[in-house]
Amino acid sequence: MKKKMIRISQKERAYVKEVLDGQFRTSSGGIMTKRLEEKFAALFGVKYAISHINGTATMHAALYAAGIGPGDEVIVPPLTMSSTAFVALHANAVPIFADIDPETFTIDPKDIERRVTPHTRAIIPVALYGLSPDMDAIMDIARRHNLTVIEDDAQCFLGYYKGRIVGSIGHMASFSFQSSKHMTSGEGGMVTTNDKDLADKVRSFSGLGYAMLKAEPGKGRIVKDIIQDPAYERHALVGFNYRMPELCAAVALAQVERLPELVDMRIKIAHLYAQAAQGCRWLVPQAVPESYVHSYWTYVLKLDNNDAFSWYDFRKKYMELGGDGIYAAWQLTYLEPAFRQQRFYPRGCPVHCPHYQGAGQQYEPGLCPVAESVQPRLLQFKTSYVDMDIAEQKAEALAQTIKYFGK
């Protein structure tokens, strides 16, 4: 019998009970949030960690802190969850899609460079499937063009890039605690940064624009002497209510304390798939450059068989042989109906941006040809099993599927 991982342990339950025992009294509120932010910042080697309700709110707050607004362009990859592009629209900015590297599937710095215009203000690179993009090249572009880099690390916990932990390299980084991620609180997220000014702006924006909110853990609440003053002017800006609830913070705190083992389990499962696929000529794994550490939110193979059989044929046989359903990669964001049909126009921007019409991207096929070639051929295998016996069965199903079609 192999080791079993308990996704939600007694530690999470104990911390939740601690919050419930506090009866949600305002005077005791924010204790778990403070502990979570301190622990997260320490683990990721950053000065500030600001908790949020989810991993989309995190990027929206980061864009606000970077001063992104109407008419600004934000460069994003097309191959990832669409929230990465949506947040540019939430900030009334223009999402600009840069193509991907054909081997790592992460955003290609060379294409980022080609997409930079006088209106570009930020880049949101994604650590796809648990693998960092080439952050040195991206940060170099940012320095030369005075751009803000916001890492989208929703899929990458305890990944490393050339000895540096992912989430500590860009000007800010965004993490998601959604239920499929390495660690979870059901929903939740975190922004990390070493810049106090950015951290203060993120904190205020995510807390309804309250004037006294500051970056440091525990500074997300207003003391009684201030909030009870009739002359207190609360809102320095029009912010959003993106704060993480204490119950979510309690679960997330326990998950952060257990994060190394949670990540290690996924890496071990990914290695089982890698062994099963070893030697197969028509299944190509996501390339992991030297000095990168992949954290394997999922294990990904590219079907490269000259159409000898279809993606659907492979998935069907894998399931017949005992595998779970294989997930496809997301449809490229700019090919989703909301972008193809430009349904964001009623929001006012980018339609009201004078440089957008004609100069901006047309969201249609041909925009990112590498991503368009890769996306339909990707096979995403689950690494979230809590039982290694089950994971081994799924890896064996992969091996048998490869054997069926012939190596």
* Active site positions, annotated: 181
In this structure, the strands spanning 48-52 and 164-165 are: unpaired
What is each CA distance from 266 to 165, 342, 372, 375, in whole angstroms?
A: 17, 38, 28, 23
In this structure, the strands spanning 73-76 and 94-97 are: parallel
Q: What pLDDT score does 380 carry?
A: 98
Q: What pLDDT score does 3 carry?
A: 64
Domains in the chain, CATH or no CATH each: 10-258 (3.40.640.10)
- The partner residues of 76 in beta bridges, in order of sequence, read 97
Residue that the structure tokens 């294409």 belong to: 111
Give the relative orientation of helices 388-405 and 259-277 as an angle to the nearest 10 degrees.
20
Walk along the chain (407 residues) and give the pLDDT tens digit of each residue. Answer: 556 778 999 999 999 999 999 988 765 568 999 999 999 999 999 999 999 999 999 999 999 999 999 889 999 999 999 999 999 999 989 899 999 999 999 999 999 999 999 999 999 999 999 999 999 999 999 999 999 999 999 999 999 999 999 999 999 999 999 999 999 999 999 999 999 999 999 999 999 888 766 666 655 556 677 778 888 878 888 889 999 999 999 999 999 999 999 999 999 999 999 999 999 999 999 999 999 999 999 999 999 999 999 999 999 999 999 999 899 999 999 999 988 877 665 555 554 455 454 445 678 899 999 999 999 999 999 999 999 999 999 999 999 999 999 98
Q: What pLDDT score does 345 carry?
A: 58
Q: What pLDDT score does 358 carry?
A: 42
d(CA 48, CA 44): 10
Return left, alpha or beta for 246; rule: phi > 0 is left, psi -120 to 50 is alpha, else beta.
alpha
Q: What pLDDT score does 359 carry?
A: 43
Q: Please count the other Cβ atoms lying within 10 Å of the Cβ belonging to residue 312.
A: 10
Q: What pLDDT score does 229 carry?
A: 81
